[in-house]
């Protein structure tokens, strides 16, 4: 099954995923985040990697099928 979210809802979803990964906050594993947001572990890994390399703006603007 392929899910596509458009515009701001997609950015909100990514922000929520990153907040769950926050070491000072919930500190969820990639697997747990993927399960909670019904996505793939690799998607979470790529999102976190993009956040580290490009900051929030780059991660939020990332276009991917989640």
Q: What pLDDT is attached to residue 1? A: 42
Domain assignment present for 39: yes
Range of the domain at 51: 7-61
Q: Is the residue at 49 inside a domain?
A: yes
19 lies in a domain?
yes
Does residue 1 sit within a domain?
no
* String of DSSP letters for the chain: ------HHHHHHHHHHHHHHH-TTTT---HHHHHHHTT--HHHHHHHHHHHHHHHHHHHHH-----
In order along its 66 residues, the chain shows pLDDT tens digits of 445 655 688 888 989 999 999 889 899 999 999 999 999 999 999 999 999 898 887 777 766 544
The reported pLDDT for the residue numbered 64 is: 56
> How many residues would you count in the chain?
66
Instruction: Judge whether 55 lies within some domain.
Output: yes
pTM of the entire predicted model: 0.75
Q: Is residue 12 one of the residues assigned to a domain? A: yes
The structural domain count of the chain equals 1
């Amino acid at each position: 099954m392929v899910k596509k979210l458009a515009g701001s809802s997609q950015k909100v979803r990514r922000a929520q995923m990153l907040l769950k990964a926050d070491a000072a906050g919930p500190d969820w594993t990639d697997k747990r985040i993927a399960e909670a947001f019904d996505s793939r572990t690799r998607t979470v890994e790529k999102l976190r990697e993009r956040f580290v390399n490009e900051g929030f703006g780059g991660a939020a603007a990332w276009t991917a099928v989640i």
